[in-house]
Amino acid sequence: MTSGTDPDGALGAAADPARPSLLYMAKQLELVVRARLEEILRDEGITTLQYTALTVLDRHDGLSPAQLARDSFVTPQSTADLVAKLERRSLVRRDRNPANRRELVVSLTASGRRLLLRYAAEVAALEERMTSALGSGEVELFRSYLDACRVALTQPVKWAGTTRGPESPDDSAAEH
């Protein structure tokens, strides 16, 4: 519904307070997915963040801790603790990078791969349940829309004379 002051509906949720913003809806989806993953993984004793790190390593094994942090959506400080806990359970290992002996890389172990296999069907069922109201073509379209949104938000943005983005945290904190 549009108002006289917003005939094109360009203001979205701001023009219609009964309609939640897309950011709010995305956060709600994340929270529900996280809660369901926690239910699935509870008996294994790993967190959703640990599970995410394992799935990242399953797709891209041998990452630096910094890259694992970025791909797992955690801070580098959190990654050190996360990797240590996974290493104690023999789900990952740290090795010297053959290309740069000063750098460590994190790799998935056979135990880590077995854990992912144990939960693959339940996690796939969760994803299927999440998209059950969509047709098969819509699921792929939804996937492409989510990826387009992610890509758009990873690009640096120019704000009031400064550039902020994923590699450039909020500069305003340093100004105060």
- DSSP state letters, 153-170: HHS-EEETTEEEBTTB--
**78-119: per-residue pLDDT in tens?**
899 999 999 999 999 999 888 787 888 999 999 999 999 999
Domain boundaries, the chain: 19-154
Kindly give the pairing relationship between strand 92-97 and strand 157-159: unpaired
pLDDT tens, residue by residue, 6-62: 555 555 555 677 889 999 999 999 999 999 999 999 999 999 999 999 999 999 999
pTM, two decimal places:
0.75
Token duo for residue 48: 């959703």
Pick the CATH number of 19-154 from 2.60.40.1120, 3.40.1350.10, 2.70.98.60, 1.10.10.10: 1.10.10.10
Dihedral through CA 158, CA 160, CA 166, CA 168, nearest 10? 120
